[in-house]
A and B are shown apart, each in its own frame.
Chain A
Amino acid sequence: MRTSTSLLLGGVALLAALPALLTAGLLNAAVQMLIAALFASAYGQLAGRAGMLSFGHAAYFGVGAFATVHAMDALNGAGLLPTPLMPLVGAAAGLGFGVVAGWFATQRSGTAFAMITLAIAELLHALAPQLKSLFGGESGISVMRTPAWGFNFGSTTQVYYLTLVWVLLSLALLYFHTRTSAGRLTLGLRENSHRLRFLGYDVHRLGVSAFAISGLFSGVAGALQVLANESANYVVFEAHVSASVVLNSYIGGVGVFLGPALGAALMSFFGYAVSDATQAWLLYQGVLFVLVMMFMPEGLVGLGGAAARRVKQLGASRAPPLLLLWLLAVLLLAAGAVFLVELLQRLCSQDYRALARAAAGWPPVTMFGQSWAAVGLATWIWPLGLLAGGGSLLAFAQRRLQMKEAQA
């Protein structure tokens, strides 16, 4: 318990120190990471703890965002709700919409629930472009952050601290919720709802409340995004927003409280870092998700535990070489896959096809700052060699592991 507390304090201190360490561009990315982390935590509260898979969580994020944008526009920082308190509007909107949508969605459980949440989000997505006065049409709605409490919110640093305070507060509240009896009942909902009903609880009401709480914090995340971007557009209702929160949360691991947040922060950081270098980032994200689902059901946060178990099982002297071997194999495979995808992406792009048609041949492509012949062993041997090498290394490591397990 003590190590985890000091880890937590260290993490918060690091987050508080970030503006001094990062450039403005990176700090903006950090704001987006924090927002994604909060959104994923709100999602994880529903998917991980209550066991309800929602595929349309963009709806609550978007409703929170639009409520905030309208509130900022109408109040203009005056009255009871100055700029720093604006996320309360998002929270209220997310909660309200969460109660309504949750009432419908929790009529059914399991797979039907998943489909209903998806359909509710698509309903909003189909409706939003039609209601121009509410959702601003193609161009969206822009607002200004009005100064309040002695801050002008003109610099990224101030926006960062505002976001950080709200994200930490929300995470603390979410964590507090898991310790209350209501939070415990949510867990019971996932494990055995029949038994809960038998014990006299209103299962539907419990489901709606879990759903609404998740909607509330999604709404806060949406509001924070509006505060950060000073605008809202109906693209927040698009399916890829819902999809990415599902992918991020499960890549991180929904079984642990901070798992979804870490997953989302990691993925949005990578998304920011590689968005210039590759056009296939979403593909990598999807592949990573499927790999996690197939081989690491606990998510990336489970990796440390798995490594620790191996060390314990095989002994401190014999485990590290094997883990290193395994790591090397994974890196080789990843490098091979990335090479192949990037090469294919360039060969299939419109520009290249036009070039190939004009040249009536296969001109070379530029990749990783180098020119590669499109046809030729010298190019294709790289991805194939990397994949084959990684694959055989992985098989070798696996065999060694089995041998050592047999010995142990």
Chain B
Amino acid sequence: MDTLLFGLLNGLIYGLLLFMVSAGLTLIFGMMGVLNFAHASFYMLGAYFAYTLQGLLGFGPAVVAATLLAGGVGALVERFFLRRVHHHGHAHELLLTFGLSFIVAETIKLLFGNFPVDYHVPASLDGPAFTLGSQQYPTYRLLMGAVALAMFGLLYLLLTRTRVGIIVRSAIYKPRMVEALGHNVQLVFMGVFGVGAALAGLAGAIAGAFYTTSPNMALEVGVMVFVVVVVGGLGSLGGAMLASLLIGVITSLAVSVDRSLADALTLVGAGAWAESVGGLLTLKLSSLAATLPFALMLLVLLVRPQGLLGDKT
């Protein structure tokens, strides 16, 4: 029971983290129609910025600075790269961001080495929050969840309750009309891109300390985030939330399941046959945990191609 509860909690917090990255991606996609392949690179940049600045500033300020820096890099990418190729179409923009993500990963390998760096949770936050049964739950995980939730609260209020939010939402809906009304839509785009990148950077700065910070982290999270937005429906913030939590919970629960398909087949009397076939049938679910999100994605594509909460396209 404890294990189940802990798995559920871990999954929810991992899901919130995924949402932190995919929210920016979905927002940018909804607004500009650009799938930003380099989005997860901002996640990685956030982690590496925080790791580098940690020694100078201390953990908290380093996370804040990393968030701002990642946002700044994002705004620069929009201004000097994406805007230049905008007239070539969306596929071209996608390819450009793909190239940028490649450059970011290679530059980080060049500067920090192709191995995980020693970025870890500060001692003051590295303790148990509560004990349930015989297990302790780390404070830092709860902190990650809290930061993610606080960020969404702020984002939601910003988008729905402020004047800036109104302009942003209308720029998503009718950019030309907003421009005609005298708003600088280019600036709004740059701002949204920057904020999206900053969110990813914040997620990276916080999660990098808990998980590992390595040049591969962008790809690992990036692929997962793409699965999230396909499952949730491209451009849908609610869908991204639902899919993030779903994937977080599924992967984290699957790790603790020590059963295989063969065990399930034993129930119908085909266990021996499954054992003899081997391969996929005898693999434990726990070792398949990494592949479950992809399987979920294929399933969603099969029954609901537009995504769980996506519009019909």
Contacts and interface: CB of A to CB of B under 8 A. Distances in A.
Interface of A: 51, 53, 55, 104, 107-108, 110-112, 114-116, 118-120, 122-123, 126-127, 130-131, 133-134, 239, 243, 246-247, 250, 279-280, 282-283, 285-287, 289-290, 293-294, 297, 341, 344-345, 348-350
B280 A131 contact: yes
B96 A294 contact: yes
B290 A119 contact: no
Contact of A119 (B107, B226, B302): B226
B226 A286 contact: no
Given A110-B90, A130-B288, A293 B96 contact: yes
6 contacts: A55-B37, A108-B305, A116-B297, A126-B290, A131-B280, A283-B106
B305 A107 contact: yes
A339 to B, nearest CB: 14
A131 B226 contact: no
B84 A294 contact: yes
B103 to A, nearest CB: 4
A51 B81 CA distance: 22
B96 A122 contact: no
Interface in B1-55: 29, 35, 37
Contacts, number: 116
Contacts of B226: 115, 118-119
B83 to A, nearest CB: 11
Contact of A341 (B95, B110, B291): B110
Contact of B85 (A116, A250, A293): A293
B279 A286 contact: no
A283 B110 contact: yes
B88 interface: yes
Contacts of A246: 95, 98
Contacts of A280: 106, 110
B98 A107 contact: no
Contact of A114 (B35, B112, B295): B35
A65 B229 CA distance: 31
B301 A289 contact: no
Given A112-B230, A286-B102, A123 B96 contact: no
Contact of A297 (B37, B92, B223, B291): B92
Contact of A294 (B29, B85, B112, B287): B85
B181 interface: no
A65 to B, nearest CB: 19
Given A110-B91, A280-B110, A294-B85, A116 B230 contact: yes
B110 A345 contact: yes
Q: Which 4 A-B pairs have the closest CB atoms?
A: A123-B294, A283-B106, A111-B35, A286-B102
A247 B32 CA distance: 24
Contact of B223 (A119, A131, A287, A290): A119
A293 B301 CA distance: 31
Nearest to A246: B98
A282 B106 contact: yes
B230 A127 contact: no
A120 B84 CA distance: 31
A107 B313 CA distance: 11
Decide if the interface of chain A is mainly helix, strand, loop or mixed.
helix
Interface centre among B90, B288, B298, B305 (most CB of A within 10 A): B298
A134 B281 CA distance: 13
B26 to A, nearest CB: 12
A181 B226 CA distance: 35
B261 interface: no
B110 A293 contact: no
A294 B103 CA distance: 14
B112 A119 contact: no
Contacts of B279: 131, 133-134
A186 to B, nearest CB: 16
B203 interface: no
B283 A130 contact: yes
A246 B230 CA distance: 22
A43 to B, nearest CB: 13
A247 B100 CA distance: 11
A115 B224 CA distance: 10
Interface string B89-124: 011101110111011001100111100000000000
B234 interface: yes
Nearest to A291: B99
B198 interface: no
Contacts of B113: 348-350
A164 B150 CA distance: 60
B219 interface: yes
Given A293-B99, A341-B110, A344-B111, 17 more contacts: A51-B91, A53-B91, A107-B305, A108-B305, A111-B29, A111-B90, A119-B227, A126-B291, A131-B283, A134-B279, A247-B99, A280-B106, A282-B106, A289-B99, A290-B103, A348-B110, A348-B112
Contact of A104 (B94, B102, B106, B301): B301
Given A111-B90, A133-B279, A294-B96, A126 B294 contact: yes
Interface in B291-310: 291, 294-295, 297-298, 301-302, 305
Contact of B100 (A283, A285, A290): A290
B269 interface: no
Interface centre among B112, B226, B287 (most CB of A within 10 A): B226
Interface string B63-97: 00000000000000000010011001011101110
A297 B88 contact: yes
Nearest to A297: B88
Given A126-B294, A127-B291, A293 B111 contact: no
A104 B107 CA distance: 34
B127 interface: no
B278 interface: yes
A223 B216 CA distance: 28
Contacts of B288: 127, 130
Interface centre among B99, B288, B313 (most CB of A within 10 A): B99
Contacts of B35: 111, 114-115
Given A280-B110, A297-B88, A108 B301 contact: yes
A241 B239 CA distance: 31
A202 B131 CA distance: 59
Contacts of A286: 99, 102-103, 106
